[in-house]
Amino acid sequence: MKTCLFGGSFDPVHAGHLAIARAAIAAAGLNRVLFLPAACSPFKTGSRHYYSDEQRLAMLRLATADIPQAEVSELDLQLPPPSWSWRVVEACRDLYPEDELYWLMGTDQWEQLHRWARYDYLCDNLTFIVYHRETPPSPREGVRSIFITGNHPASSSAIRKALQAGQQPPASWIPRQLSAYLPQ
């Protein structure tokens, strides 16, 4: 089986996240995409989420309900902070020992990948699926990667900013299933 790990704050999950997951499923023939809301990114220590862990999990479950390959996992929330990707990969290796593991990320993360803890371990155990909007990023020597493209404009930070200002985020950014959490 091909299992893809899709980590992020998902604060909140938006239509762009879902579009990226669907593109990855199509490009790599994935059997499972694990949506892994992060507890605390090592690159964002001290920051707090706008929505609670419970709300982010509930929104993810609602938003991904119509993607058969999608599963929402609490794994990263259960590991000690910060959210080191290598710990998530180790845990998934134990949970899915026969699976090929993939990691879905954006170009911004791909450009910083060399800074991630246990970089070599991650490269040995994963194929990276890298989402980009325009120019594909450069491949990395010895790193398995698949590049996918799209241009969904949604942004969690822009959604939060609009909500904090009492404004409506663009309706096309909000999965319809989230009407109980986000204004439509």
Query: Residue 180's pLDDT is what?
Result: 73
Centre a 10 Å sphere on the Cβ of residue 26 and count the other Cβ atoms it contains: 10
For 10, residues 6+ apart whose C-beta sits below 8 A from its C-beta are 17, 35, 37, 56, 59, 60, 156
Residue 142, phi-psi category: left (phi > 0), alpha (psi -120 to 50), beta (remainder) = left
- Integer Rg of the chain from CA: 16
| pLDDT 10s digits, 16-68 | 999 999 999 999 999 999 999 998 665 555 557 789 999 999 999 999 999 99
Query: Residue 46's pLDDT is what?
Result: 53
Q: What is the mean pLDDT of residues 81-91?
A: 92
| pLDDT 10s digits, 102-147 | 999 999 999 999 999 999 999 999 999 999 988 889 999 999 999 9
Query: Residue 183's pLDDT is what?
Result: 56
Name all domains of the chain by residue range, CATH numbers in brackets.
2-178 (3.40.50.620)
Taking a C-beta distance cutoff of 8 angstroms, is the pair 32, 71 a contact? yes
Predicted confidence (pLDDT) at residue 179 exceeds the cutoff of 60: yes
Taking a C-beta distance cutoff of 8 angstroms, is the pair 143, 128 a contact? yes
Query: Residue 151's pLDDT is what?
Result: 87
Query: Residue 60's pLDDT is what?
Result: 97
